[in-house]
Amino acid sequence: MAKRWRRATEEPAWLKVTLITVALAFVALFLVLPLSVVLFGAFERGIATWLEAIRDPDALSAIRLTLLIVAIVVPLNTLFGIAAAWAIAKFEFRGKPILISLIDMPFAISPVVVGLIFVILFGSQGWLGPWLAAHDLRIIFAVPGIVIVIAFGTLPFIARELIPLMQQQGKEEEEASLTLGASGFKTFWHVTLPNIKWGLIYGIILCNARAMGEFGAVAVVSGRIRGETNTVPLHIEVLYNEYMFTAAFAVSSLLTGLALVTIAIKSVVEWQDERRQRRAAA
């Protein structure tokens, strides 16, 4: 009788059920339950109370500031991410490992430490503080400081999505395009960009989500001035510390909704990418 070899994926039924149960319980406890608590607290007293919390002047100011920062930071990091990924994946040059390490630096540094670094650099008693004061320029406790720390914190997301994708694709198509007489811009627009569009969209989604939810570094450099430098996460903390729990949950539901939309878009992008890869393989 031939010996039956056991596959690596063949496991007893009880083990599969146990693993699935543990995974579902973990998701329910740490994801579904907190989201449910936020949504319940937001609408516990009705839609009128929710709208009143959202229409509060301080809440509207925080929402506008958050959207403004996202509108500035995401395009900047998109340009940087494409440029950095292009340089790292398509060219060989001295200092390339250093550039990769610098791109990864925001992942390794605590956001609070990032805020302190920029306070030391741009604060009134910092290295550039006297020069900024002499020229009537405000970085710390103002919008520019918030933009800088959020741009720093979200810097790796797009680049890190594009670098392995471009390295995997190689540079043969770009070289063929240039050989046929296309300019550098046309090569990028008609060859490189279509090849990286799904990874680029995925990186932009992650960058946008992080920019909207950044807290630690912003709390250090913003000064937490209500109606001026409070972003949505900081405004939520202010409401919670003042025991305005319903209003805090109402504003939190906005970020929760944006997070759910982000996850939905991310899932659609991944589905489209998998569908494209299956078509290409076929």
Check residue 188 and give its pLDDT.
85
Check residue 113 and give its pLDDT.
93
Average pLDDT value for residue range 122-140:
89
Alpha helices in the chain (DSSP H): 13-27, 33-43, 47-54, 57-90, 96-108, 111-122, 129-134, 143-169, 172-179, 184-187, 193-213, 216-222, 232-241, 245-281
Check residue 5 and give its pLDDT.
55
Answer yes or no: is pLDDT of 280 > 80.
Answer: no
Residues in the chain: 282
Residues 179-209 have pLDDT tens digits of: 888 887 888 888 888 888 888 988 998 899 8
Task: Give 174-236 as a DSSP string.
Answer: HHHHHHTT--HHHHIIIIIHHHHHHHHHHHHHHHHHHHHH--HHHHHHHTT-TTTT--HHHHH
Average pLDDT value for residue range 128-132:
89
Check residue 1 and give its pLDDT.
46
Check residue 6 and give its pLDDT.
55
Instruction: Write down the pTM of the prediction.
Output: 0.84
Answer yes or no: is pLDDT of 3 > 60.
Answer: no
Residues 240-275 have pLDDT tens digits of: 999 899 899 999 998 888 878 877 887 887 787 778
Distance CA 219, CA 210 (A): 15
Residue found under tokens 């006297």: 130
Average pLDDT value for residue range 210-235:
91
